[in-house]
Structure 1
Amino acid sequence: MSAAREYGLDDQYEWPRPPADGWVADDLDRLPNLPPHTELIDGSLVLMSPQTRFHSRVIHYLVSALTEQAPEHLEAIGEMTIKLNKRNRPEPDVLVVPVDADSGPRQTWFEPEDVVLAVEVVSADSVERDREVKPRKYAQAGVPHFWRVEENDGLPVVYVYELDPATRTYALDDIYHKQLKVDLPFPVDIDLTAVNRRGRPAGG
């Protein structure tokens, strides 16, 4: 199968040719027929492979659990981009943002200062980006909390990081295997073993 057809496009589709100095963040809203979840990293378009069942389940599970447990002024949302700067507009798998960061139904991105938590669920085709490139950029942009989710025997393992504002780097706080229980950015208690079950996502 051709790359174009894999993304639901005609085989004759011509991929966008980048300008000499690379794409900019606003191009993601202007370029026609981009595949879903296309990101901009250092001026280059990054196309996502089809999601695995694990990846999709974890995203929806965390959005549901965080929505249920977040204070009223915050909300969890899945798969929207952050406009970090002119040449970088990544798409975390899960974000927590203030409710009043809503600019309307056609909104496609958030400012980095609006993001309280960014979560990346590591995929086989994005290991380096999810473990190194994107968290480094989130930290430099001042996103205060970052979680990295890895798969182990079909269940999520969550690596919890907190920003050191002096160095703009993340420090590992802890690693959670069966129960994710943290106090920041707000009290969270999630049963990670229930990701494949239907029903109430919270663990407390």
Structure 2
Amino acid sequence: MKKLISGILLITVFAACKSNTAKVLPIYGNRSAEKKTVNGQTVTDTVYQTIPAFKFINQYGDSVGSKNLQDKIYVADFFFTSCPSICPGMQRNMLSVYNAFKDMPDVKIISYTIDPKHDTVPVLKKYADKLGVSGNMWWFLNGDKDKVYSLATKSYLVAVSPDSTVAGGYVHQGYFVLIDKQQRIRGSYDGTNPQQVDQLIADIKTLKAEPADK
């Protein structure tokens, strides 16, 4: 009997240790301390950087934005359809994310064009069709250039800029940025690196398993 009890206790301790070491993704970006009153006591809470409200046009000509992403996990990137360098590889790798989660309504992909003058709705639709993307899981967005660039650099922490000295006329980082249901950055991955994209897919699964009130 003592051996049986010892065995049960050992299993219980192991299970507790296992649950306590479950992976938790970090929260990136700026943060600040905010004091609030809870049950008559002043406590300090941490306020994390979030993605601000936005509204652009997708490849179907629909007006969509942050309101459509409430309670969604999503991956964001920045590209342009005529990009001769990293974009084709990025979008091929993003297809792995698309295929892994296209049947899950709480996961989306948002690709912002940094060349909205050229990348009109018909151009974005043709680009999506060529990739084999359909439905509303993956949106290719066209919007005001200044707003897109501000979102990229200040919110998603991705560098983008026009550059007439390079092929294509633009330079940008190829990061895939993981955003949680509270609009916080939870990861950033090199979209040209298949191994990092595999890690992104694993981290989305981790984020999906995170308690709703985390």
TM-score, normalising length: structure 1:
0.28
TM-score, normalising length: structure 2:
0.27
Greater C-alpha radius of gyration: 2
Task: Give the number of the structure with larger relative contact order, counting CA–CA contacts within 8 Å between residues 6 or more apart.
Answer: 2
**Where is the helix percentage greater, Structure 1 or Structure 2?**
2
